[in-house]
Structure 1
């Protein structure tokens, strides 16, 4: 893996790097979670059980709903650390910009 000398990066570069790291962490967690679920299902099956029998059925999640919600989709152009996933209440920085005529698509990551 290539090393990055963070001491020589500008503030903008550091903020961009932080956003990339947060996104990579979220994706890695999702990947690890799905791999662990698969291993647990395989192990339960080898002993004649299902995961639902051992841990109970997962409530509130239908097919296709195991997508992670925590990944940011929108970012403040002035401060890339200010992000929003697109769910829940819009952050103040976004509401202010939308009132001034900007479009939501302008802030997509």
Structure 2
């Protein structure tokens, strides 16, 4: 069946698959986040409290103290630890996702 499809049809199919994969990953990430929030509540905390405690221990950037770090605006769906504020040069994972048919809205935090 795929052999009979035109290049445009194959590209359209790939875009649909990429969207379906991104949607699945988003749902799974939301389920994991909900589980984490529930675990934090079970221990008497809010997840945001625990995460802010963790992030406050990070070292300053190499450029020195250039003010507060920008909040992450985009998250790598493959590795949620990789974020981008939308400032400066795009990370490779952002460019890769855009080339795969995703949009910046798909990567929004």
TM-score bracket, shorter-length normalisation = 0.3 to 0.5
TM-score by length of 1: 0.46
Q: Which protein has the bigger strand share?
A: 1
Q: Which has the higher contact order (CA 8 A, sep 6+)?
A: 2
TM-score by length of 2: 0.46
